[in-house]
Homo-oligomer: A and B are copies of this chain.
Amino acid sequence: MLSQNKIKYLRSLELKKNRIKENKIVLDGKRLIDESINQNVEIEHIWINNLLELKEHNNPFINKIKNNGIHFSYENEKNLNKISNTKNSQGIIALISIDKFYNENLEKFDDKVIILDQISDPGNLGTIVRTCAWFGVKSIILSKNSADIFNYKCVRASVGGHFFIKNLAYLSYKDINNFISSNNLITFRSDLEGEKIDNKNIHNNWALILGSEAHGVSNKLNFDKKITIPKKGQMESLNVSISAGILLNELINKS
């Protein structure tokens, strides 16, 4: 059974400073945990509501946990609810390690990279991660002043998209510029004042740069081209995750 100290520890990971110190997060819900197993994420332990044990004999999900040799135990609902970070907990919670997601070795980054500058809304960030996972973009660079990609709201919005990220780094503007130039990436910056994206100019090696809705992309970032999504109405702007989706579709499916 979970000790009060362990419960306190698991809850402490809701705070960014503790996540960064421990390099661990709590996953909440079957769908997320199932996907983390599929993607060979390092799972430290899974806690399952003991009512599920009684109700579901020979449960395929529990069999999958057993077959993968993952540590797990049954726990009472009251304790699980204390750790849960969702409104309607399904009673399945995991502690996972996240240090393998970060990759300081920039040489391993792909030739298709998304660079996010000052994105502050974790819901938008999570939706962008999910969209990257759909389009097979596995390398994400964030400016240092962006939201934490392991914020629980972000993890929920990405619905498991995190587990497809292979290269992740928070970099200074200087290091982002160095990364772009040393990798000869064609860089597209999403901007209200840019050109319509021209499919003839899309090469295999590119970086797509998106900024926050409030502040845009910092002028400290170098880029080749400002691109825009042609507008037909009078609306001032698009949600940043929508812009990311439309531009990734152009870059991935039209090149």
Contacts and interface: CB of A to CB of B under 8 A. Distances in A.
A109 interface: no
Interface in A185-228: 196
B252 A134 contact: no
B246 A133 contact: no
A242 interface: yes
Contacts of A231: 134-136
Contacts of A136: 231-234
Contacts of A196: 253
Nearest to A242: B245
A91 to B, nearest CB: 19
Interface in A101-152: 123, 127, 130-138
A4 interface: no
B127 A235 contact: no
Interface of A: 123, 127, 130-138, 157, 159-161, 164, 196, 229-239, 241-243, 245-246, 249, 252-253
A144 B235 CA distance: 27
A112 B253 CA distance: 24
A167 B22 CA distance: 52
Given A127-B241, A229-B253, 13 more contacts: A130-B239, A131-B242, A133-B234, A133-B235, A134-B231, A136-B231, A159-B236, A159-B237, A230-B253, A232-B252, A238-B245, A245-B245, A245-B246
Contact of A134 (B134, B135, B238): B238
B252 A131 contact: no
A242 B126 CA distance: 12
Given A164-B233, A233-B164, A234-B164, A249 B249 contact: yes
